[in-house]
Structure formats: structure tokens, C-alpha cells
């Protein structure tokens, strides 16, 4: 690359020349003036003038020698640095995984790295200049040339994806970027280009697009299935509950109109019919609630869990004025969650604790929590009926009960609802207990609300909390 002085270099050289000329003229003038004032012998004046000339020549020669020597030393150092820089550049360019090359300002390629020759199986003589065109698909070459010529004219960066044929005859996709190197005046002095093999990336993109299309199709099917399920839920709610209401209504009418004519056993049977119809109605309501919980929209906010638990307990406590409770609510950490869903979790767990401690003279219930690194831990502990840990895997399954209906009322849906809510939050839930010694139910939603489960596909539905089992 040819080097030329810029404006700053020229001004510096001009200042040095003017300074040297000024002091040389000043010295010649002052020495002549001194000779004319103090020396009157012409022969002596001539001798001093000759000596002055010789002295001027010697000083000028010494200065020129220093300047030339410094220039030669600097040139050699620059040449050595340039050579080392070029060697480092070539080493670096040969070590990168991309195909690399250098072109003159007019686009004439003068150098390729080793990976280019390894991939193409060509020689420097074959590739010099415009030899690279033979590796291109003729159908693509015209577009490549047009864009490359536009970059040469405008000096703009070149970027394009196109296929290149390798030495094995296979054609692979490459992303080629060419950057212009400019001098201080903004003129392009050379081009440096790289071609990156993106074949596997393109395959991955195509596979991802295919999967995205398939996922979109499945999403559409799932949306349709959800709509059908929602329609079915409303149908079930109406078609199944309507006969139950009729059974309950006619049973009431019979009990009222024939109360004086029925014996005690008949009255008991009517009461059993009404009770079973009521339980069936509640079971349908619980199942519908469980189904809607999976589709309900998810809204994350910072929840004051301690305040929420206190409110829930005060509401539940009013329903059992005859019971004795020893409740201990510890300090509970805040968490990011859907507040209504977390409220339902504590309603279910505390309701279970109240239900399963009904045989205790004093029900002891403890609510605690702790803040971990990635999650918030909460638990509800009681001294109630407990359960056998061998069957703990059944606790959170729909309709699974570890106690008979005669012992404890319920539909077997409440814990399944809790499990679904915690799954929606991306958290975990588990239980520990021992028969007749109480149980502890724990759950841990993540601190990061971004870890929550994906939003449902259906729109939220208005829900009524069920009776808890």
C-alpha cells in the first residue's frame, strides 16, 4: 500500500524547513556583520568567509545525515512492523473457520486464506483476479456480480447469502461479508471479505420453521379442542345438573307433602336421596372448576402472602364457631404469583386442615414459609388424621381419596386443583404425613415470574370456588 503525506505531516515538514532556513540566514547575516565591523583586512575576511562556508556545509551535512539516517531507520522499522503485522494477519486469517480473501479497490482479488483453497480445491493461479466466478452457480452469479459491482462503485459494505461449490462437488450455503478499508481521505484502498458456512444453520432454520408450522397447526387443534371442551363443560353443567335439581326438588316436595304419611325409614331414604343429589351436584361443580382452572388467564403480581393467609383464615374460622383452634401464622415471604389462584390454594389447604382435625379437641394448625434462592417455600401443617406415606402419590390425583366418605366429606378434587395451580406457576408441591399424627402440605412457587407456565389458549371464565375436599 502506497503511503502519502497528509496535511498535518506536510505542515510539520514545512515548519522544520522554515525554522532551519531562518536560523541559517540569521547566522550568515550576523557573521558577515561581525566581520565587517571588526575585521578590515580583506584577506582575513576571505579566509573567514571560506571557513564559514565549510562550517555551514559541515553542519548542514550533519543535519541531513541525521535526518536521512532517522528516515531510513524509521522506514526499516515501519517495514518490519508492517511485515510482522501482515504475518500476524495471515496467521489469524488462516486460523479462522471462514473462507477469507483480500481484493484491490477495483475488486480484483489478490489473496485467499488456506481454508479457501482447502474447501474449493483450487490453486492461487486459478483464483487470482476474478477466478472465483467459476465456483458460482450461473443462475446466482449475475446477482452476485451486480451487488459486488455496486459495492465497488459506492464503497458500501457487501453482504449476501449464496451457494459455493466445494472440491467434493457439493454445494453449501455461505454468508459473505466484505468490508472496505479506507485511507485518511475516505478512499477505498482494499477490500477484506469472509464467507461463513451457514449450511447447518439453514437446515436448522428450515427444521425450526417446519416445527413452528406444525406447532401452529397443533395449537389450532388445541384451541378447537378447548372450545369444544368448554362447550361440553357448559353442556355437562346444564344437562347433568338439571336432573339433579329435579330430584332434589321432588324429594323436598315429597318430604313436605307426605311427611305425616311416611314412616321414619321412608323419611331417611328421602334425606339420603337429597344428600346424594347434593353431593353429585357439588362434584360436577368441582370438576368444572378444575377444568376452568386449566384455562383461566394467568396474571402475575407481587402478593403479600401473610396478609392473604390471615384474611383466608378469618373467613374460614367464622364457619366453625364451635371448634377450638390453635393457629400459628409465621412471617411469610412475598411472592410473584396470580393472587386469586394462590388464595384458592390456601383456602383449600386450610379447609382441609380444619376438616381433618375435627376429631381433635383442639385443632393445631401452623402456616409457615421461607425464602430460598430461586423459590418461595410455604407449608400448612396440622395435627389431624394424617395419612400413610405409602399412598402419598395418590393425594394430588383427581377423585383419589385416602379416607372414606363416611369419615370425611368431600369430592376428591380439592388437592388436584391445588396441584394444577402450582403447576401453572411453574412450582412444585409435595406432602408429608403419618397416620393419626397429622400432615404437612408444602408448595414452592418460583421467585422469577418468568418461570411460570404458559398462558392458556382459552379466554378466562368466571369461576365459583368449590367446596373443598
pLDDT at 11: 77
b/e burial code for range 170-207 (CB count within 10 A of at least 16 → b): eebbbbbebebeeeeeeebebbbbbbebeeeeeeeeee
How much is the mean pLDDT over the chain? 79
The mean pLDDT value for 116-124 works out to: 89
Interval 212-241 mean pLDDT: 72
Angle between helices 264-295 and 199-257 (to 10 degrees): 160
For residue 53, pLDDT beyond 50? yes
Judged by DSSP in three states, 364 sits in: strand
The more confident residue out of 414 and 133 is 133
pLDDT recorded at residue 5: 55
- Quick check: 179 pLDDT over 50? yes
Query: What does the pLDDT look like over 328-385, one tens digit per residue?
Result: 999 999 999 888 888 888 988 998 899 889 888 899 999 999 998 889 999 999 998 8
Residue 204 in this model has a pLDDT that exceeds 80: yes
Query: Please, what is the Cα angle at 415 between 413 and 421, to 5 degrees?
Result: 105
In a 13 Å sphere around the CA of 278, the CA atoms on its Cβ side amount to 12
Give me the helices (H) in 4-162, please: 7-38, 42-95, 114-120, 124-127, 138-154
Residue-wise pLDDT for 64-74, tens only, equals 777 777 778 77
**CATH code of the domain made up of 298-469:** 3.30.565.10
| CA–CA dist 371, 419 (Å, integer) | 20
Asked if 325 and 362 touch (Cβ cutoff 8 Å), the reply is yes
pLDDT tens by residue, 14-50:
777 788 777 777 777 777 777 777 767 777 767 777 7
Count the Cβ atoms, other than its own, within 10 Å of residue 116.
Answer: 23
Residue-range domain boundaries for the chain? 7-92, 97-197, 200-295, 298-469
Distance (Å, rounded) from C-alpha 204 to C-alpha 198? 10
Separation of first and last alpha carbons in the chain: 86
Cβ atoms 357, 364 nearer than 8 A: yes
With bands split at pLDDT 50, 70 and 90, how would you rate the model's confidence at 148? very high
The DSSP letter of residue 133 is G
**CATH fold of the domain at 200-295:** Helix Hairpins (1.10.287)
The C-alpha cell of 434 is what?
A: 403419618
pLDDT at 152: 92
Mean of pLDDT values over 294-318: 85
CA distance 283 to 399: 9
Selected residue with higher pLDDT from 58 and 87: 58
pLDDT given at position 291: 62
Alpha-carbon span 417 to 424, nearest angstrom: 11
Distance of alpha carbon 245 from alpha carbon 240, whole angstroms:
9
Exposed / middle / buried, residue 280 (Cβ in 10 Å: 0-12, 13-18, 19+): middle
Top pLDDT among 28 and 99 is at: 99
pLDDT of residue 400: 58
Q: Per 3-state DSSP, what percentage of the chain is helix, strand, and coil (rounded to 5)?
A: 55, 15, 25
* 237-289 per-position pLDDT tens digit: 666 667 777 777 777 787 777 777 777 888 787 777 877 777 667 666 666 66
Q: What is the pLDDT, as a whole number, of residue 217?
A: 85
Q: Which residues pair with 442 in a beta bridge?
A: 379, 430
Candidate CATH numbers 3.40.50.1820, 3.30.450.20, 3.40.50.10310, 3.90.1150.10; the one for domain 97-197: 3.30.450.20
Average pLDDT over residues 54-62: 78
Q: What is the pLDDT of residues 427-469, one digit of tens each?
A: 988 888 888 888 899 999 998 755 544 444 333 333 333 333 3
Share of the chain above pLDDT 70, in %: 79
Angle at 48 between CA 45 and CA 49, to 5 degrees: 85
Q: Indicate the SS3 state at residue 330.
A: coil
pLDDT of residue 376: 92
Amino acid at each position: 500500500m502506497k503511503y502519502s503525506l497528509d496535511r498535518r505531516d506536510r505542515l510539520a515538514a514545512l515548519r522544520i524547513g522554515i525554522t532551519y532556513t531562518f536560523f541559517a540566514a540569521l547566522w550568515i547575516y550576523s557573521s558577515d556583520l561581525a566581520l565587517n565591523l571588526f575585521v578590515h583586512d580583506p584577506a582575513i575576511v576571505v579566509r573567514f568567509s571560506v571557513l564559514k562556508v565549510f562550517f555551514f556545509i559541515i553542519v548542514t551535512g550533519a543535519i541531513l545525515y541525521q535526518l536521512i539516517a532517522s528516515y531510513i531507520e524509521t522506514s526499516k522499522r515501519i517495514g518490519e512492523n508492517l511485515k510482522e503485522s501482515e504475518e500476524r494477519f495471515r496467521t489469524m486469517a488462516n486460523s479462522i473457520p471462514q473462507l477469507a480473501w483480500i481484493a484491490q479497490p477495483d475488486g480484483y482479488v489478490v489473496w485467499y486464506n488456506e481454508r479457501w483453497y482447502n474447501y474449493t480445491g483450487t490453486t492461487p493461479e486459478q483464483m487470482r483476479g476474478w477466478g472465483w466466478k467459476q465456483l458460482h452457480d450461473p443462475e446466482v452469479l449475475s446477482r452476485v456480480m451486480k451487488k459486488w459491482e455496486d459495492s465497488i462503485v459506492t464503497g458500501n459494505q457487501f453482504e449476501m447469502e449464496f451457494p459455493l461449490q466445494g472440491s467434493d462437488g457439493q454445494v453449501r450455503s455461505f454468508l459473505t461479508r466484505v468490508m472496505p478499508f479506507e485511507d485518511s481521505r475516505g478512499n477505498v484502498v482494499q477490500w477484506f471479505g469472509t464467507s461463513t458456512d451457514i449450511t447447518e444453520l439453514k437446515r436448522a432454520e428450515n427444521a425450526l420453521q417446519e416445527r413452528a408450522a406444525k406447532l401452529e397447526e397443533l395449537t389450532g387443534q388445541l384451541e378447537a379442542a378447548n372450545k369444544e371442551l368448554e362447550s361440553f363443560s357448559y353442556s355437562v353443567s346444564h344437562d347433568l345438573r338439571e336432573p339433579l335439581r329435579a330430584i332434589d326438588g321432588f324429594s323436598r316436595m315429597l318430604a313436605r307433602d307426605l311427611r305425616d304419611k311416611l314412616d321414619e325409614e321412608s323419611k331417611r331414604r328421602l334425606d339420603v336421596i337429597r344428600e346424594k343429589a347434593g353431593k353429585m351436584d357439588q362434584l360436577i361443580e368441582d370438576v368444572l372448576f378444575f377444568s376452568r382452572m386449566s384455562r383461566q388467564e394467568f396474571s402475575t403480581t407481587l402478593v403479600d402472602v401473610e396478609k392473604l393467609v390471615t384474611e383466608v383464615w378469618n373467613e374460614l374460622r367464622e364457619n366453625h364457631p364451635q371448634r377450638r383452634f390453635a393457629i400459628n401464622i409465621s412471617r411469610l415471604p412475598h411472592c410473584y404469583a396470580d393472587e386469586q389462584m394462590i388464595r384458592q390454594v390456601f383456602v383449600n389447604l386450610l379447609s382441609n386442615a380444619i376438616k381433618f382435625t375435627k376429631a381433635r379437641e383442639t385443632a393445631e394448625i401452623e402456616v409457615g414459609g421461607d425464602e430460598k434462592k430461586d423459590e418461595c417455600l410455604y407449608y400448612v401443617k396440622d395435627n389431624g388424621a394424617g395419612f400413610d406415606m405409602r399412598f402419598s402419590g395418590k393425594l394430588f390425583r383427581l377423585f383419589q381419596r385416602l379416607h372414606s366418605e363416611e369419615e370425611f366429606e368431600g369430592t376428591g378434587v380439592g388437592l388436584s386443583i391445588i396441584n394444577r395451580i402450582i403447576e401453572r406457576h411453574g412450582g412444585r408441591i409435595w406432602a408429608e404425613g403419618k397416620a393419626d399424627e397429622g400432615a404437612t402440605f408444602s408448595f414452592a412457587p418460583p421467585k422469577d415470574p418468568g418461570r411460570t407456565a404458559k398462558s392458556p389458549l382459552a379466554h378466562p371464565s368466571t369461576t365459583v370456588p368449590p367446596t373443598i375436599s
